[in-house]
C-alpha cells in the first residue's frame, strides 16, 4: 500500500466552483451524470485528475462534445484538457448500490438509498478530485420511482420537483454554500418525518425535519429537542447561527460511523436518533443528545470552515468533540460529564497512545485515512482544544474562536490556522504548545513533595514516552490545576491554582503547612496526562471526602481503589478497609447527587487496572476486582439494599436526578450480585420484570447475564422474544452476553455469531457482539487464545464486505506487548493469519501490519 505524507501536500491544480449531478436512481443500478465546471488554479497546463474507486466512465464530454483525451490511471480518470484554463467536464457512470456492502458511497439500506462520503466515498459515486480543499456549489437532480422513493433529499434547498414518466418523479436541490465532496449527501426512500422549526438569533425561521422509517416517528422527539437545544447553544456560546432554510436528519440502520454532518442533510446511525423509555437507556439518551449536537456543531466547525487535507482531521473533530462535550455538560451535570469523558479517554485513547498504532492528533502519514478516525484525533484532540480554552479563559477563547471562524469562513483550513487564531485572539504564545499536534504518547508527570523550613513545594518532572517513529520527545506546555489542603483542618490551604507547565522539571510553591498537605492535582483533568504521585490511603480517603473539586474527589476514590486492586493482583493485601470506608462516606451523599455518587463508587475497569501493570494478568485482575466488589457488596449490603428498596423513578422522568438515581440502582445491584447472596438473582429478575424502562431492564439483565441462575436464561429469553424485531434493542441482547463475566463467554460469543439474528451486514450488530467481547478483558484474553481466534475469524470474514469496520476490530490484537509471552505469541499468530489473507483491504493491511511492529 502507498503511504501518504502530510509534508507532500500540494494545492489543487484545478478548482471546481460548480457541480451539477444528475441521478437516475435505482437500488440495483443508479446512473450518475456529473458536470464539473473546472477552473485551472495552476499556472502551467495540467491534466485534470479525477479520483475514482470501482468506477468505469461510460462517456466523457468536454464543453458538451464527446472527448477522447482521457486515460485511466489505476482507478482514477485523467482528463487531458490541453492548455485550457476552464472547461465543463461531464462524465457518465453506472453504480450498483445494492451490492455496495462497504457502506461507502451510494448504498442501499432496508430498501432506501443513502450516501456516506467522508472521507473518500464520493469517488465511489462519480469521478472527482475528492479532496477537501476543492469546494463547490452543488446542484443535484434526483429522479426515481415514486412508489419506491417517495422522498428525495439532498443538501441545501429543494428548488423544484415534478413528475416524470412511468411512475417516476424528480426533485432538484441546490446548496448555496460551497462545500467539499465529503459533505455531499442524498437520500431516497419511503420515509416519514417529524417536523419542527427553529427561529435563529437574527429571526430567520428554519424548518427542521427528522426522517425515519414508518413506525419510528415516536422515537424521534428526544433527537429533535437536542437539535433545537444545540442550535440555541451554538448561538449563545459561540455566536454561530444556522445558515440554510432547512435542516434535515435521516436515520439509517446500516452505518459505519455514528453519524455524518453532510451540509443541511445529516445522516445518522439509527442508534443516535431513536429513543424512547421502553427501548433506550439513559446512556442511549445521552448518546443521542451528544451526537445530534456534535453533527450540528460541525455546520461551523467542519462545514463553513473545513479541513485543507485529511491530516487536519482533528481541526474539525477535536474542536467539535470539545464543543459537544461542553454542550452536554451544560445540559446536565458538568462534573459527571467530565468523569465520563475522562473515562472514555482512558479506556480508548490512552491504550492507543501507548501501543503500536500511536499517532499525533495531527498524523504525519497514513495509508488509509479511515483508520485515523481514532480516539486520538477525536478525544485527545478535544483535550488539546480544552487545554487552550483553559489557558486562555472563556473570554479570550471566545475571541480566538470568533477570529478563527471569521478569518477562515468558506475556506479549507489547517490546525496551524486554528492555533494562530488562538494566539492572536487570546494574546498568548503557543509555540511550545504546538508539540501537542506533533508528538504522540501520553505525557507522564512524576510528582514529589519537598519541604524547606515549613514551606512546601511540588516538584514536577515531565516525561513523554517514545512512540513509533518518535524515539525522543520534548516537554509539552500544559495547564495544571492544583490545590493543597491541610488535612487536620488547621493551617493554610492553597486554593485552586492554575500552573502552566513548560519545563521537563518544574517546582511549584505550595505555601506553609505544619504537616504534609493533601495535594489535589490535575483538578478537572486539566491536562490529558498520567500523574504518578504516591499518596497514602489516608490522604486519598481524605480527598475523596473533602476535596472541593468533584472531579478530584472522584479521582481520589478511584486511585484508592486502583492502589488496592493493583496490590491484590500481585498478592498483597492492599487497603480494603480504607476503600470500604471511603465508599461508605461517598454513598452518604447519594441523596444529594446520585449521578456523581454512582460514578464515584464504580470500581475501575479491568482494562484500566491492567494499564497500571507492567504485564497485564487478565485472570488475576478479574479475581481481584470481583473479590473487592464482593467485599464492598458485603460490607455495605444494607446501603445497597436500601438504594434498591426505594421505588425507581418513572422511566419517563429524564431529569438528571432521575437518571442519577437509576444509575446508582444499577451500581447497587451489581455490588449486591457480587456478594453471591442467594436472593440476588430473584431480586434482579424482579427488577427486570417490573421495570418500566430500558435503563433498569438492561441493568438487571446485564447483572443476571454474569451469573448462572435459572432467572438468567429466563430473562434472556423474555428479552429476546420481546425485542427480536427491534434491531437496536436486539443489539443489547448480544452485547450483555458478550460482556458477561462468566468463564464460558468465549464459547457463548462463538455460538452467538452463528445465531440467525447475527449478521455481518450491519455494523451495529457486529460491534454489539464483537466490540463488546473485545472489551471483555478476561474473556478476550482467555489463555488458550480462543478469543483471539474468534476476533481474527471475524476480521477475515468481514474484510471483503466492509473493510472499514473490519479494520476497527484489529487494535485489541495489537496490544500484545502488554501481555505475557504465551499470549503475545498467540496474538501475533492471529495478526499474521489476518495478513496472510489474499486480497486483504488497505484498511486492514495497514492496521494489522502496524500492529505487529
Ligand atoms: N461523521 C463523523 C463525525 O461527525 C465524521 N465526520 O465525527
Ligand atoms: Zn465529527
pLDDT in tens, 647-702: 999 999 999 999 999 999 999 999 999 999 999 999 999 999 999 999 999 999 99
817 Cα to the center of ligand 1, angstroms: 31
Residues 11 and 107 in one domain: yes
Whole-number pLDDT of residue 488: 87
What is the best residue among 373, 375, 379, 808 to mutate for testing ligand 1's pocket, by most ligand atoms within 8 Å of CB? 373
Residues 366 and 469 in one domain: no
Whole-number pLDDT of residue 837: 98
Pocket residues for ligand 1 (CB within 6 Å)? 118, 257, 259-261, 294-295, 298, 317
Whole-number pLDDT of residue 217: 98
**Domain end (from 140, 156, 190):** 190
CATH code for the domain in which residue 783 is found = 1.25.50.10
Residue 584 burial (10 A CB sphere; 0-12, 13-18, 19+): middle
Q: What is the mean pLDDT of the chain?
A: 98
For residue 507, give the 3-state DSSP assignment.
strand
Residues 183 and 329 in one domain: no
Write the residue with the smallest CA distance to atom 1 of ligand 1: 260
Question: What number is the average pLDDT over the span 524-542?
Answer: 97
Residue 573 has pLDDT above 90, yes or no: no
Enumerate the β-bridge partners of residue 457: 450, 509
Enumerate the β-bridge partners of residue 462: 445
CATH code for the domain in which residue 109 is found = 2.60.40.1730
Model pTM?
Answer: 0.99
The C-alpha angle 289, 290, 294, rounded to 5 degrees, equals 120
Residue 574 lies in a domain: no
Q: Under 8 Å CB-to-CB from 58, ≥6 apart: which residues?
A: 92, 93, 94
Residue 162 lies in a domain: yes
Question: What number is the average pLDDT over the span 701-722?
Answer: 98
User: Which ligand 1 atom is nearest residue 291's CA?
Assistant: 4
Question: What number is the average pLDDT over the span 302-330?
Answer: 99
Residue 60 lies in a domain: yes
Kindly report, residue by residue over 280-297, the tens digit of the pLDDT: 999 999 999 999 999 999
Residues 399 and 452 in one domain: no
Residue 819 lies in a domain: yes
What is the best residue among 250, 255, 258 to mutate for testing ligand 1's pocket, by most ligand atoms within 8 Å of CB? 258
Question: What number is the average pLDDT over the span 794-809?
Answer: 98
Residue 490 has pLDDT above 80, yes or no: no
Whole-number pLDDT of residue 492: 80
Q: Under 8 Å CB-to-CB from 721, ≥6 apart: which residues?
A: none
221 Cα to the center of ligand 1, angstroms: 22
Enumerate the β-bridge partners of residue 198: 206
Report residue 393's pLDDT band, with 50, 70 and 90 as the boundaries.
Answer: very high
Residue 321 burial (10 A CB sphere; 0-12, 13-18, 19+): buried
CATH code for the domain in which residue 369 is found = 1.10.390.10
Whole-number pLDDT of residue 355: 98
- Give 3-state DSSP helix, strand, coil % of the chain, rounded to 5: 45, 20, 35
Residues 415 and 449 in one domain: no
Residue 604 lies in a domain: no
CA distances from 318 to 7, 215, 240, 271, 362 (A): 21, 35, 18, 22, 10
Whole-number pLDDT of residue 487: 93
Report residue 714's pLDDT band, with 50, 70 and 90 as the boundaries.
Answer: very high
Write the residue with the smallest CA distance to atom 3 of ligand 1: 260
Looking at the CA of 322, name the nearest ligand: 2
The C-alpha atoms of residue 542 and residue 608 are separated, in whole angstroms, by: 23
Residues 102 and 79 in one domain: yes
Residues 53 and 180 in one domain: yes
Residues 448 and 431 in one domain: no
Residues 734 and 839 in one domain: yes
606 Cα to the center of ligand 2, angstroms: 29
Question: What number is the average pLDDT over the span 244-265?
Answer: 98
Residue 730 lies in a domain: yes
- Give the DSSP letter string of 612-646: TSSS--HHHHHHHHHHHHHHHHHHTHHHHHHHHHS
Kindly report, residue by residue over 170-181, the tens digit of the pLDDT: 999 999 999 999
Write the residue with the smallest CA distance to atom 5 of ligand 1: 260
Q: What are phi and psi of 718, to 5 degrees?
A: -60, -45
What number is the ipTM of this complex? 0.97
Cell numbers for 140: 443535484
User: Which ligand 1 atom is nearest residue 302's CA?
Assistant: 6
**Active-site pick, 118, 120, 295, 846:** 295
Alpha-carbon radius of gyration of the chain: 28
Residues 789 and 817 in one domain: yes
Kindly report, residue by residue over 48-107, the tens digit of the pLDDT: 999 999 999 999 999 999 999 999 999 999 999 999 999 999 999 999 999 999 999 999
Residues 362 and 502 in one domain: no
The C-alpha atoms of residue 608 and residue 625 are separated, in whole angstroms, by: 11
313 Cα to the center of ligand 2, angstroms: 9
**Domain end (from 190, 205, 229):** 190
* Total domain count, the chain: 4
Q: Look at strands 265-269 and 259-260 and give their pairing.
A: antiparallel
Report residue 489's pLDDT band, with 50, 70 and 90 as the boundaries.
Answer: confident
Whole-number pLDDT of residue 575: 92
User: Which ligand 1 atom is nearest residue 260's CA?
Assistant: 1
What is the best residue among 116, 119, 121, 257 to mutate for testing ligand 1's pocket, by most ligand atoms within 8 Å of CB? 257
Is 534 a catalytic site residue?
no
Question: What number is the average pLDDT over the span 696-710?
Answer: 98
The C-alpha atoms of residue 238 and residue 401 are separated, in whole angstroms, by: 8
User: Which ligand 1 atom is nearest residue 294's CA?
Assistant: 4
Q: What percent of the chain is predicted at pLDDT more than 70?
A: 100
User: What is the sign, positive or negative, of the torsion defined by CA atoms of 656, 661, 663, 667?
Assistant: positive
Residue 846 lies in a domain: yes
Write the residue with the smallest CA distance to atom 6 of ligand 1: 260
Residue 382 has pLDDT above 90, yes or no: yes
Whole-number pLDDT of residue 303: 99
348 Cα to the center of ligand 2, angstroms: 17
**Domain end (from 536, 559, 575):** 536
Residue numbers of the domain that contains 61: 4-190
The C-alpha atoms of residue 634 and residue 577 are separated, in whole angstroms, by: 12
User: Which ligand 1 atom is nearest residue 321's CA?
Assistant: 7
Q: Which helix (H) or strand (E) holds 269?
A: strand 265-269
Whole-number pLDDT of residue 648: 96
Q: What percent of the chain is predicted at pLDDT more than 90?
A: 99
Residues 331 and 424 in one domain: yes
376 Cα to the center of ligand 2, angstroms: 13
Residue 542 lies in a domain: no
Amino acid at each position: 500500500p502507498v503511504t501518504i505524507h502530510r509534508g507532500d501536500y500540494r494545492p489543487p491544480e484545478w478548482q471546481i466552483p460548480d457541480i451539477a449531478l444528475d441521478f437516475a436512481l435505482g437500488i440495483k443500478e443508479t446512473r450518475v451524470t456529473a458536470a464539473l465546471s473546472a477552473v485551472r488554479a495552476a499556472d502551467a497546463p495540467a491534466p485534470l485528475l479525477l479520483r475514482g474507486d470501482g468506477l468505469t466512465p461510460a462517456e466523457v464530454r468536454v464543453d458538451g462534445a464527446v472527448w477522447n483525451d482521457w486515460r485511466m490511471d489505476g482507478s482514477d480518470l485523467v482528463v487531458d484538457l490541453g492548455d485550457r484554463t476552464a472547461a465543463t467536464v461531464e462524465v457518465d457512470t453506472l453504480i450498483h448500490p445494492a451490492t455496495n456492502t462497504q457502506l461507502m458511497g451510494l448504498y442501499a439500506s432496508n430498501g432506501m438509498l443513502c450516501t456516506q462520503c467522508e472521507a473518500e466515498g464520493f469517488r465511489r459515486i462519480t469521478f472527482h478530485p475528492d479532496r477537501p480543499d476543492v469546494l463547490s456549489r452543488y446542484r443535484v437532480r434526483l429522479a426515481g420511482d415514486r412508489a419506491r422513493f417517495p422522498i428525495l433529499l439532498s443538501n441545501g434547498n429543494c428548488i423544484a420537483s415534478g413528475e416524470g414518466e412511468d411512475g417516476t418523479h424528480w426533485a432538484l436541490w441546490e446548496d448555496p454554500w460551497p462545500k467539499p465532496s465529503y459533505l455531499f449527501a442524498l437520500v431516497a426512500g419511503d420515509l416519514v418525518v417529524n417536523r419542527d422549526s427553529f427561529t435563529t438569533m437574527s429571526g430567520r425561521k428554519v424548518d427542521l425535519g427528522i426522517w425515519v422509517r414508518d413506525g419510528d416517528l415516536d422515537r424521534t422527539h428526544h433527537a429533535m429537542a437536542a437539535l433545537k437545544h444545540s442550535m440555541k447553544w451554538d448561538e449563545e456560546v459561540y455566536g454561530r447561527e444556522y445558515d440554510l432554510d432547512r435542516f434535515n436528519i435521516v436515520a439509517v440502520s446500516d452505518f459505519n460511523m455514528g453519524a455524518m454532518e453532510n451540509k443541511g442533510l445529516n445522516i445518522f446511525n439509527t442508534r443516535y436518533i431513536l429513543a424512547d423509555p421502553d427501548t433506550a437507556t439513559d446512556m442511549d439518551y445521552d448518546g443521542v443528545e451528544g451526537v445530534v449536537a456534535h453533527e450540528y456543531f460541525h455546520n461551523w466547525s467542519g462545514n463553513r470552515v473545513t479541513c485543507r487535507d485529511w491530516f487536519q482531521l482533528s481541526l474539525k473533530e477535536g474542536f467539535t468533540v470539545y464543543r459537544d462535550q461542553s454542550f452536554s455538560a451544560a445540559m446536565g451535570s458538568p462534573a459527571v460529564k467530565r468523569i465520563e469523558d475522562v473515562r472514555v479517554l482512558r479506556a480508548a485513547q490512552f491504550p492507543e497512545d501507548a501501543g503500536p498504532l500511536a499517532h499525533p492528533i495531527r498524523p504525519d502519514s497514513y495509508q488509509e485515512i479511515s483508520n485515523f478516525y481514532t480516539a486520538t484525533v477525536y478525544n485527545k484532540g478535544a483535550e488539546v482544544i480544552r487545554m487552550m480554552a483553559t489557558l486562555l479563559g472563556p473570554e479570550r477563547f471566545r475571541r480566538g474562536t470568533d477570529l478563527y471562524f471569521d478569518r477562515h469562513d468558506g475556506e479549507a483550513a489547517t490546525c496551524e490556522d486554528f492555533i494562530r487564531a488562538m494566539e492572536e485572539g487570546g494574546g498568548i504564545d503557543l509555540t511550545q504548545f504546538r508539540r501537542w499536534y506533533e508528538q504522540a504518547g501520553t505525557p507522564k508527570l512524576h510528582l514529589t513533595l519537598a519541604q524547606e523550613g515549613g514551606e512546601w513545594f511540588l516538584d514536577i518532572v515531565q516525561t513523554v514516552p517514545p512512540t513509533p517513529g518518535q524515539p525522543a520527545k520534548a516537554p509539552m506546555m500544559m495547564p495544571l490545576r492544583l490545590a493543597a489542603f491541610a488535612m487536620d483542618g488547621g493551617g493554610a490551604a492553597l486554593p485552586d491554582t492554575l500552573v502552566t507547565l513548560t519545563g521537563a522539571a518544574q517546582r511549584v510553591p505550595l505555601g506553609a503547612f505544619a504537616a504534609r498537605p493533601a495535594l489535589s492535582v490535575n483538578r478537572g483533568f486539566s491536562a490529558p496526562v498520567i500523574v504518578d504521585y504516591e499518596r497514602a490511603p489516608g490522604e486519598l480517603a481524605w480527598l475523596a471526602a473533602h476535596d472541593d473539586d468533584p472531579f478530584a474527589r472522584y479521582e481520589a476514590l478511584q486511585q484508592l481503589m486502583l492502589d488496592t486492586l493493583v496490590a491484590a493482583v500481585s498478592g498483597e493485601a492492599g487497603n480494603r478497609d480504607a476503600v470500604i470506608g471511603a465508599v461508605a462516606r461517598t454513598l452518604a451523599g447519594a441523596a444529594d447527587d446520585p449521578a456523581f455518587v454512582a460514578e464515584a463508587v464504580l470500581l475501575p475497569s479491568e482494562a484500566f487496572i491492567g494499564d497500571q501493570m507492567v504485564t497485564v494478568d487478565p485472570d488475576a485482575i478479574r479475581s481481584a476486582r470481583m473479590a473487592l466488589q464482593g467485599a464492598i457488596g458485603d460490607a455495605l449490603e444494607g446501603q445497597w439494599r436500601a438504594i434498591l428498596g426505594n421505588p425507581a423513578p418513572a422511566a419517563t422522568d429524564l431529569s438528571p436526578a432521575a437518571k442519577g438515581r437509576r444509575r446508582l440502582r444499577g451500581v447497587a445491584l451489581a455490588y449486591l450480585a457480587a456478594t453471591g447472596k442467594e436472593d440476588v438473582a430473584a431480586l434482579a429478575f424482579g427488577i427486570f420484570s417490573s421495570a418500566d424502562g430500558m435503563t433498569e431492564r438492561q441493568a438487571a439483565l446485564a447483572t443476571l447475564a454474569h451469573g448462572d441462575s435459572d432467572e438468567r436464561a429466563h430473562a434472556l429469553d423474555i428479552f429476546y422474544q420481546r425485542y427480536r424485531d427491534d434491531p437496536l434493542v436486539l443489539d443489547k441482547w448480544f452485547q450483555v452476553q458478550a460482556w458477561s463475566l462468566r468463564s464460558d463467554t468465549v464459547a457463548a460469543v462463538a455460538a452467538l455469531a452463528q445465531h440467525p439474528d447475527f449478521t455481518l451486514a450491519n455494523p451495529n450488530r457486529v460491534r454489539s457482539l464483537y466490540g463488546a467481547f473485545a472489551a471483555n478483558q478476561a474473556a478476550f484474553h482467555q489463555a488458550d487464545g480462543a478469543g483471539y481466534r474468534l476476533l481474527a475469524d471475524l476480521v477475515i470474514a468481514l474484510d471483503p464486505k466492509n473493510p472499514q469496520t473490519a479494520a476497527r476490530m484489529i487494535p485489541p490484537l495489537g496490544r500484545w506487548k502488554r501481555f505475557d509471552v504465551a499470549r503475545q505469541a498467540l496474538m501475533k499468530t492471529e495478526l499474521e493469519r489476518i495478513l496472510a489473507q489474499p486480497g486483504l483491504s488497505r484498511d486492514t493491511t495497514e492496521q494489522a501490519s502496524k500492529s505487529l511492529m
